[in-house]
Structure 1
Amino acid sequence: MTSLIHEFLKPGINKGLFYGGRFQKPHTSAVIEVLNPATAEAFTTVPNATVSDVKAAVTSARSAFGGWSELDPLDRSRHLHAFAHVLRSNMSSLALLETTITGRSIREMNAQMARIPEWLEYFASIAIGLEGESNVVKGGYVTVTHYEPLGPVALLTPWNHPILILVKKLAAALAAGNTCVIKPSELAPVSPLVLAALATEAGLPDGVVNVITGGPATGAALCAADDIHYIDLTGGTSTGRKVASLAGERLIRTTMELGGKTPVIICEDADIEAAVAGTLFAAFVASGQTCVSGARFLVHDKIYDSFVEGIAERTEQITIGDPMDKTTQMGPLISQKSKDRCLRMIAQAKVDGAKMIAGAGPLNLHNDFYNGFYIRPTVFKDVETHHELFLEEVFGPVVSVTRFYSDHEAVEMANTGTFGLGVSIWSRDIARAHRLSLKVRGGVVWLNDHHRNDPRSVWGGVRDSGFGKENGWDALRAYLTKKSVIVRTAAGHDDWFKGVGRYG
């Protein structure tokens, strides 16, 4: 399969959609152009799938559902472990593909790719241990419960972590016995197609993993498809509202991981060196393009100047350039639109009176990358709570630093706005940090660290950051429905209309 990945690494390759265990010719000649963000040049195209294409992929998922869902969990587990092995065997090539499409540095992608098979192995393992219950209840009855998969499900995935976020969803959905139709972001749709082909190589039955590519209309058609029984979305909050509306019309369940504006609280007793290093990672890994990027630093007055000095110095030292160069620490943004948003918010922060302490210098890029979607990592201090930069998600490497004087004020600042996904708190007093964690709004809180993820650590947000959970038993059960079977064990029989027996 490495040869297939290398084929996709060549510019201009368009093998169509993937469903039914093979690449398929779409019902349209319309395509979406995929750019290399490091150069802003066209890299390849993918089909802009039609309603007919969506229907074909969903039909394929339905055809495979019976056989896949009826497998014993042990047999499904073996399939998923084989899939994990295939991913490990193709790890370096997948990292190259991800870097080409997203602009993420190859150093980052190699590190991230090494963790991804763990999600398949984890869910393959815990699904074996999913057991129902039985209870003896009043009146001579036994209730027996067991779990059933839902059917074909829709996975809508983003461009910032095309394989990682997809596998997080896919592993739980498949382990539960569902079949999947994946609609990746039109900005980074290539690696999900390859991943589906790898699943087939690993021995998963045809039609269990299917991928359609396209824009918003394709996604809407998938969400509205009659035979889709669950929608799992990672994306922006505005997209989440639209998908929730479509799901609500059909009364199907959803999980949504949406936007964020992650606060980082740094107390006066924090280890400054550790806090600077950790928050640098929080702010600028993936060029600041994650939903839990450390976006607003809330720093106690007693250490404010020291922290500002440290974060400014370290930010200016970040190496920007060719994402394929192993010495590059930060690559480009995903698109010109993202770059323009960052530049506009930088300009507005200056108008608002915030002080830029890092990011003003030239990029000094090699000519090959002059037109790429690069922006220097940028830090503003003295940002106030009513400033746009404090309130609005940037989704890029532009962060704010704001002073606080008490824990109460820090919590109020952290809870300002409508998001509630990630939070991190830095303090040597772990009891204090834990008390703060109970008062801040967020689905994931790190103490003296940031952005750590594991298949066993439940992940999800509240309010405008979405609902439902990824990872852990919560994610597996979300892809299942629990059925109750009631068995009469009492002797004889009831005849209500002859006055024999009881009601209820």
Structure 2
Amino acid sequence: MAATEAVTERFTLAEPQPLLIGGREVRAGQTFPAVEPSTGRIWAQVAAGTAGDVDRAVAAAQSAFETWRESSLDTRQALLWAVAERLTRDAGRWPALLATENGRAVREAGLIDVPTAAEIFRFFSGVVRDLHGRTIPCGPGAHVSTTQRPVGVVAAIVPWNSPLISVAHKLAPALAAGNTIVVKPSELASVSTVEFVRLVQDLFPPGVVNVVTGFGHDAGRALVSHPGVAKVSFTGGTETGRRILGDVSNRLVPALMELGGKGAMVVCPDADLDTVTEDVLTGIFAANGEVCFASSRLMVHRDRYDELLERVSARAEAIVVGDALDPATQLGPLVTARHRDLVAARVQAALSEGAELRAGGRVPEMPGELAGGSYYRPTVLASPDGATSASCEEFFGPVLTVEAWTSEDEVVERVNRVAFGLANGVWSADLAQAYRLADRLDSGMVWVNTWFATPLGQPQGGVKASGFGREGAAATLLEYTATKVVHASLDTTRPPMWT
């Protein structure tokens, strides 16, 4: 249990949060409570936006689009850079807010979330100057050129697990490309998104950036189904992604889907187990395991299986679980008690199917006000043959399944048989083997001898049930544009079709 003397001051909002529409703060008719995962206390009241609020936000974005789409690239570049500067200037206020909001350990929020969000805006501030078309050679009688034009109003649906980073991944490229945007954050983590947009909205013309908070079945569905929305950009669970695609399919609206994963770490017999152990702990227990990139399957060659299983299990038992606001905490509470109970139920199901519990697998007893939190011990399951549900279902929590393999063909088949295809990894001192395996794994990203390496410029995204489209790279600008062709004929001759 983490010491409590150094607990960071808890974040509390005295007034209900507003909606942000057309550059103004709009009070909603109804609100709902934000509940702190560490204690179970209500710490804020969030606006419950309605379909009518969505109508007003989309109308404001449509109006702003008519002028924002014609803004110069240097204007967009300067404003995106200014967002990063303002976020960095106020960096000290975000860790406590993020930890209060979703249970992410406060030390992680300060080390990762804030600087990463700022760097995303800086990155797109730079690459926006490379937003250009092409001249296409089509023979001496024609001049064919293309331009990349913004698509219009973007609906951005943001998850609860890394809200500040996710908002940056949506806003920065969409705005750089000349679009306007309506953001709908998760009802489990709305406050940070509203506070961030409040901080920077004066940098942009009114209506360029709007936020409607509320529930998915109300505000969320109204937004993705709105006839004024030209593109949907969603990060979240695969089942929700399917529902959104169903809602937008009738209007043939394009979508970017960054969905779930079931990441596998493939450990070869010659791998450095000291390095592997550190990468395993980071891969599955960082961000409380509530991340789509989590490495929830550890696929170890049988020659090293027992040794690595013992190492990882012992280290998992030593992880400090506690108050997300305590700098000594290594793993905070899960986002809600309901989600914690779902993770626990899935662990019990795997055990009933034959998995062996090697660490965790329980709700810890917490003192004082923390007794109301949604804590769960980091868990390690041994399942050498990978035959339980823990090897194919996304738990979205701090649960690792350790499996054994013998041949390359075997491990490739077992990794690829799951529905997901977001991220996998290979650990080997033999780079020829590492690249051979990496080439055969079906996922949008494969890491070699590392995990969670996501520098800006490296495309992030998946295949299969993990979605489509790429974030965090120069190519992401093209996700938010449409190619327009101008074909100018230089030849006055015509074929004799009508003579």
Task: Report the TM range for the smaller structure's normalisation.
Answer: over 0.9
Q: State the 1:8 CA deviation.
A: 11
TM-score (norm 1): 0.94
> Matched residue of 1:148: which SS?
strand
Amino acid at match of 1:167: A
Amino acid at match of 1:218: A
* Pairing 1:135-284 to 2, within 5 Å after superposition: 135-138=136-139, 140-201=141-202, 203-216=203-216, 217-284=218-285
Figure out how many residues of one structure are paired with residues of the other and give that number: 490
* Pairing 1:23-42 to 2, within 5 Å after superposition: 23-26=25-28, 29-42=29-42
State whether structure 2 residue 99 is matched by structure 1 residue 107. no
State whether structure 2 residue 471 is matched by structure 1 residue 470. yes
Q: Is the 8 A contact 2:136 2:144 kept in 1?
A: yes
Partner of 1:22: 24
Amino acid at match of 2:254: R
Task: Encode CA deviations 1:214-265: one digit per residue, 9 max, x unaligned.
Answer: 1122111001111110000011111111111122111111010111111111
Q: State the 1:475 CA deviation.
A: 1.0
Partner of 1:83: 83
* Pairing 1:411-430 to 2, within 5 Å after superposition: 411-430=412-431
Q: Which segment is superposed worse, 153-162 or 208-217?
A: 208-217
Task: Encode CA deviations 1:267-287: one digit per residue, 9 max, x unaligned.
Answer: 111100100110110010111
Q: Which segment is superposed worse, 346-355 or 225-234?
A: 346-355
Q: State the 1:353 CA deviation.
A: 2.2
Change (3 A) 1:207 1:326: same
Q: State the 1:326 CA deviation.
A: 1.0
Percentage of pairs with the same residue:
34
Change (3 A) 1:402 1:138: same
Q: State the 1:351 CA deviation.
A: 1.5
Q: State the 1:13 CA deviation.
A: 2.9
Q: Which segment is superposed worse, 283-292 or 6-15?
A: 6-15
Task: Encode CA deviations 1:119-176: one digit per residue, 9 max, x unaligned.
Answer: 1111111111122122342361101111100111000010000110110111110100
Task: Encode CA deviations 1:279-304: one digit per residue, 9 max, x unaligned.
Answer: 11001011100011111111101111
Amino acid at match of 1:73: L
**Alpha-carbon distance in 1 for matches of 2:132, 2:455:** 23
Q: Is the 8 A contact 1:283 1:294 kept in 2?
A: yes
Q: Is the 8 A contact 1:120 1:167 kept in 2?
A: yes
Q: Which segment is superposed worse, 67-76 or 136-145?
A: 136-145
Q: Is the 8 A contact 1:384 1:390 kept in 2?
A: no
Q: Is the 8 A contact 1:7 1:13 kept in 2?
A: no
Amino acid at match of 1:180: I
Amino acid at match of 1:107: R
Q: State the 1:7 CA deviation.
A: 13
5+ residue gaps, structure 1, are 1-5, 500-504
**Alpha-carbon distance in 1 for matches of 2:18, 2:301:** 54
Change (3 A) 1:149 1:496: farther
Partner of 1:3: none
Q: Is the 8 A contact 1:263 1:424 kept in 2?
A: yes
> Matched residue of 1:183: which SS?
strand
* Pairing 1:59-138 to 2, within 5 Å after superposition: 59-112=59-112, 113-138=114-139
Q: State the 1:360 CA deviation.
A: 5.4
Q: Which segment is superposed worse, 129-138 or 185-194?
A: 129-138
> Matched residue of 1:399: which SS?
strand
Change (3 A) 1:361 1:63: closer
> Matched residue of 2:420: which SS?
coil
CA RMSD, 1 decimal? 1.8
> Matched residue of 1:116: which SS?
helix
Partner of 2:454: 453
**Alpha-carbon distance in 2 for matches of 1:432, 1:211:** 48
TM-score (norm 2): 0.95
**Alpha-carbon distance in 2 for matches of 1:71, 1:8:** 41
Q: Is the 8 A contact 2:17 2:191 kept in 1?
A: no
Q: State the 1:20 CA deviation.
A: 1.2
Q: Which segment is superposed worse, 379-388 or 473-482?
A: 379-388
* Pairing 1:388-403 to 2, within 5 Å after superposition: 388-403=389-404
**Alpha-carbon distance in 2 for matches of 1:7, 1:40:** 16
5+ residue gaps, structure 2, are 1-7
**Alpha-carbon distance in 2 for matches of 1:483, 1:18:** 32
**Alpha-carbon distance in 2 for matches of 1:282, 1:79:** 34
Q: Is the 8 A contact 2:351 2:357 kept in 1?
A: yes
Q: Is the 8 A contact 1:199 1:209 kept in 2?
A: no
Q: Which segment is superposed worse, 43-52 or 220-229?
A: 43-52
